[in-house]
Amino acid sequence: MRTLCASTLIGEFFVIGFAGLVAMKDPDLSMSTVWTVSGIAMFLCLVLCGLVTRPGGIAMGWALQAALIASGFVVPTMFFMGAIFAALWWASVHYGRKIDEAKARFAAQAGSAPSSTPDAV
């Protein structure tokens, strides 16, 4: 799960950076405000890559997805991009858990399977 979620978050990191570039063209926003908000969001993406498997990591990821969608009020394209990344986040969590369960099942089967080679005496 960690690999899939981290991949999604790294993709979001770049999208947030590009959205910051687009938001800079808005005359109502100062450059420092745009890059403070974008920088914090980008930093959170990187931090969440390491926190995904910890308690609350997935919930913080969902909060980031909601914030990304809400950023569409500043950069309208982000409504679409936020929805795409929310879907990717769901898929990463959902299928990542299935992969982790399958790995655990295979590891348990490999550990309980009898050895086909006789022990040397």
Q: Say how far apart CA 40 and CA 64 lie, in whole Å.
A: 11
Q: What is the pLDDT of residue 84?
A: 96
pLDDT of residue 46: 95
Q: How many Cβ atoms sit within 10 Å of the Cβ of residue 10? A: 13
Confidence bin at 114 (pLDDT 50/70/90): low
pLDDT at residue 63 greater than cutoff 90: yes
pTM of the model: 0.82
